[in-house]
Amino acid sequence: MRKYRSDPKSIHEDWAHALIDFESGAVGIYETSRLGEAQKYCQITGTLGNILDNDYFGPEIPLRSLIGEEMQDIPVETLRRNIDGVDVLQRIIVHTDPKIVYENPFRDYPIDDWCVGHASEIMSLANTALNDEPPEYGLGGRKDVEMTMAIYESSLNNMTPIELPIKDMTSYEQMVHEDYREKFSRPIDQF
């Protein structure tokens, strides 16, 4: 994790990467950057195929899958419409047998692709608070946050590998608690 901001008091990751070793022997490579936001790029590659979402290829998402003994292209269709000047994803259809169809739950609102996840998280939290419903993402969200915390912790400790699950408060969490106390003049857990 590196900071590229002029304010030394600002805690903001501009570029981060991590290698994630799984028990199965698989290795995940994670990289994110807020430095060059003009271009989005997301790729997942596995032993049975890969999928790539990149603006260079336009609105379609190339998908290749191992079928029999050879890699084959699987057509992926995206349907979009313009709402208040925002190009909004309506649905994604993966032309497999059977078809896989994703319907954007926010297709009637001017929310771009990269903000659909945020809107879904916010609505889940709102439903939890207002309607006493369980959070939609629950344990999965906790695991995502834990992996992010492990990446931060590793970066603060000379790239030391961090075992999951994390059992104790990390030094990054301590920094967050200290920043909160400094900003709000009380501990983070005191309401």
Grouping H, G, I as helix, E, B as strand and the rest as coil, residue 92 is: strand
Q: Is the pTM of this model over 0.75?
A: no
Q: Does the residue 141 lie in any domain?
A: no
Work out the end-to-end distance of the chain between its first and last CA atoms, rounded to an integer number of angstroms.
31
Answer yes or no: is pLDDT of 76 > 60.
yes
Higher-scoring residue by pLDDT: 41, 149: 149
Q: Does the residue 84 lie in any domain?
A: no
Q: Which amino acid is at 47?
A: T
Asked if omega into 98 is within 30° of 0 (cis), the reply is: yes
Grouping H, G, I as helix, E, B as strand and the rest as coil, residue 173 is: helix
- What's the whole-number mean pLDDT along residues 124-153? 86
Q: Which domain holds residue 53?
A: 13-74
Do 139 and 147 contact (CB within 8 A), yes or no? no
State pLDDT tens for residues 165-182.
999 999 988 988 998 899
Q: Does the residue 181 lie in any domain?
A: no
How many structural domains does the chain have?
A: 1
Q: Does the residue 158 lie in any domain?
A: no
Q: How many CB atoms lie within 10 A of CB 62?
A: 15
| Residue 59 pLDDT class (50, 70, 90 cuts) | very low
Q: Does the residue 64 lie in any domain?
A: yes
Q: Does the residue 40 lie in any domain?
A: yes
State pLDDT tens for residues 112-128.
887 888 898 899 889 99
Q: Cα–Cα distance between 114 and 111 in angstroms, integer?
A: 8
Answer yes or no: is pLDDT of 12 > 80.
no
Task: Return phi, psi of residue 152, to 5°.
Answer: -60, -45
Grouping H, G, I as helix, E, B as strand and the rest as coil, residue 53 is: strand
Q: What are the tokens at 148?
A: 């992010």
Grouping H, G, I as helix, E, B as strand and the rest as coil, residue 129 is: helix
Q: Does the residue 20 lie in any domain?
A: yes
Q: Does the residue 22 lie in any domain?
A: yes
